[in-house]
Structure 1
Amino acid sequence: MPSSQFHLSEYLNTAISAARTGAAILQAHSLRRSDLVIDKKARNDLVSQADRDAEAAIIEQLQENTPQFGIVAEETGGQASGAATWYIDPLDGTTNFLHGIPHYAVSIALVAHEGTYVQGDQPLEVDTPVIGVVYDPNREELFTAMYGVGAWLNEHRLGCSQTESLSEALLATGLPFRDFSFAEQYMPTLNAALPLTRGVRRMGSAALDLAWVACGRYDGYWEMGLAPWDVAAGTLIVREAGGDAQDILHAEPWPRSGFIYAGNANVAPALHEMLRPHVRNR
């Protein structure tokens, strides 16, 4: 696909519109949480009618505006196809949402596939997130990013923090809550981080953790056992804000396996060095 036919700005607007539509549905459901039908996909893996309704509305908009792209969504699945694929998490922070904790977001990313011409006349060498949108409806904070152009919070350009060392860094993480098979790898990383850093926070939304790294609220972040739709948008937002977001094992071009670390240009490499001895090949 020639770059002249790959319209990043149009795709960003499409994603923003879809995210706002999904968020409006979530907020309507939040007013009657006690009436929600909640299913358990697995232990501590919850899905509600709010997730399903928001996802259906998001998918409808994306398919209408970009029928040429594949779609992979948390509740309905799908597969990568075409020159690029949308990755959708209609409600990142479901447990927070269901308990009335106002910390959750809609996350939408477009990942362009290897060989796609996104900018100029050089095709991408690896699959790469090129559009990222994370929308927090409770704070009305819209985090967006476009490949090679930058990242924004509402109308303000984003930049990661300038913190220089782990000893001065505030980190975010996510504790194992659903899949405990990697807990023996995760717990040593938490034990290592506690005395080395200024503090560690666990807020319950990977998409917002990454967005907050991008805007400088956190200096770094790591987590294990996530899904690709959890991290696709946030990965690009961090990268376009001048930080780094990678697979912990550096085995994939973006952390689609869900083992991720991110941080500003100083903290990210130090964080990776802290994690590396404890994480083995999966």
Structure 2
Amino acid sequence: MQSLRLPLSECLDAAVTAAHAAAAILQSYANNRTELVIDSKMRNDLVSQADREAEHAIIDILLERTPQLGIVAEESGGKPSDIATWYIDPLDGTTNFLHGIPHYAVSIGLIAHAGAKISGHEPLEHDTPVIGVVYDPNREELFTALHGVGVWLNGRRIQCSRAEKLEDSVVATGFPFRDFSFADEYMPTLHHAIKHTRGIRRQGAAALDLAWVACGRYDAYWEMGLAPWDVAAGTVLVREAGGVCEDIFHSAPWPIGGYLYAGNAHTAAALDAMIQPHMKPRQNA
């Protein structure tokens, strides 16, 4: 029978190695963007061979170093395992990358499934994000987090901001860009935030939005319509930085559905209160 104990340190080391390998591929293409072959998966949802090659590099390393774990990747799919599953976004911020905007990242998160054991503790009661690696190759900033241990930026411990009110906060968000089915729910929240925050930023890379919440650059962040691989790693970063990162519908133990709000205890609660009046019930939420 396969062991349900997770060697987190070894897994984190594998994810960091994989993130650096993927970033090297991305940067090799960054100065030759005109030669990239770009495909459109759907409206405003692009993929290039840079994404695909970076993803293959990540998967090869993780399969070699952590063969017992499942993998779900943006471009090649995959499937979960019984113990834990990697969620991989080889290039978060593809549109930025393709337009030469130097704001994108490699994102690798590990979700331990219910029943898995971590460092001698009792088995987990529900799926739990346990490892987060987000690497920004343009700034050479490596964000790493380990469940129950901490979060670091280039080896230095970080924490969420101490803002107590949205009125004193710089808040990040993401506009609907490929799925517009939730626009009627999202737009009122944006209008409210415009009037009740210090400022709003929309940079176009969810993994970095969450990483920047974890290190205090942003005081809070919310977005809708993302994918699990967009938020898996960032969820660990924020939580280990003393913050809150949760499913808007309060129906999942982490924002696997891609509807999330994040911040410190004060700003996250304020965001949640701002969002809830505008959300429509989901049949499966």
Indicate the larger mover: 271-280 or 218-227.
Answer: 271-280
Read off the aligned partner of 1:26 and give its amino acid letter: L
TM-score, L = length of structure 2: 0.97
Which residue matches 2:97? 97
1:181 equivalent to 2:181? Answer yes
> What SS does the corresponding residue of 1:222 show, helix, strand or coil?
strand
1:266 is displaced (CA, Å) by 1.3
Which residue matches 1:271? 271
Counterpart CA distance in 2 for 1:274 and 1:239 is: 21
Unaligned runs of 5+ in 2: none
> What SS does the corresponding residue of 1:135 show, helix, strand or coil?
strand
> Which 4+ residue blocks in structure 1 deviate beyond 3 angstroms?
none
Read off the aligned partner of 1:216 and give its amino acid letter: G
Counterpart CA distance in 1 for 2:201 and 2:189 is: 14
Counterpart CA distance in 1 for 2:167 and 2:31 is: 42
Which residue matches 1:76? 76
Alignment of 1:1-282 (within 5 A): 5-282=5-282
1:278 is displaced (CA, Å) by 0.8
Unaligned runs of 5+ in 1: none
Residue by residue over 1:168-209, the C-alpha shift from the partner in whole angstroms, topping out at 9 and shown as x without a partner, is 011000000000011111101101111111011000000000
Read off the aligned partner of 2:142 and give its amino acid letter: L
Kindly indicate whether the alpha-carbon contact (under 8 Å) linking 1:2 and 1:118 is maintained by their aligned counterparts in 2.
no
1:79 is displaced (CA, Å) by 1.3
Counterpart CA distance in 2 for 1:182 and 1:89 is: 23
Residue by residue over 1:192-246, the C-alpha shift from the partner in whole angstroms, topping out at 9 and shown as x without a partner, is 1111110110000000000000000000000000000000000000000000000
Read off the aligned partner of 2:171 and give its amino acid letter: L
1:26 is displaced (CA, Å) by 0.2
TM-score, L = length of structure 1: 0.98
Read off the aligned partner of 1:273 and give its amino acid letter: A
Counterpart CA distance in 2 for 1:14 and 1:130 is: 14
Counterpart CA distance in 1 for 2:157 and 2:89 is: 24
> What SS does the corresponding residue of 2:122 show, helix, strand or coil?
coil
Read off the aligned partner of 2:144 and give its amino acid letter: T
> What SS does the corresponding residue of 2:133 show, helix, strand or coil?
strand
1:81 is displaced (CA, Å) by 1.1
> What SS does the corresponding residue of 1:266 show, helix, strand or coil?
helix
Kindly indicate whether the alpha-carbon contact (under 8 Å) linking 1:2 and 1:117 is maintained by their aligned counterparts in 2.
no
Counterpart CA distance in 2 for 1:78 and 1:181 is: 26
Cα RMSD after superposing both structures: 1.0
Indicate the larger mover: 115-124 or 128-137.
Answer: 115-124
> What SS does the corresponding residue of 1:106 show, helix, strand or coil?
strand
Kindly indicate whether the alpha-carbon contact (under 8 Å) linking 1:2 and 1:121 is maintained by their aligned counterparts in 2.
no
Q: How many residues align?
A: 281
Residue by residue over 1:20-58, the C-alpha shift from the partner in whole angstroms, topping out at 9 and shown as x without a partner, is 000000000111000000000000000001000000010
Read off the aligned partner of 1:204 and give its amino acid letter: G
1:2 is displaced (CA, Å) by 6.1
Kindly indicate whether the alpha-carbon contact (under 8 Å) linking 1:106 and 1:135 is maintained by their aligned counterparts in 2.
yes
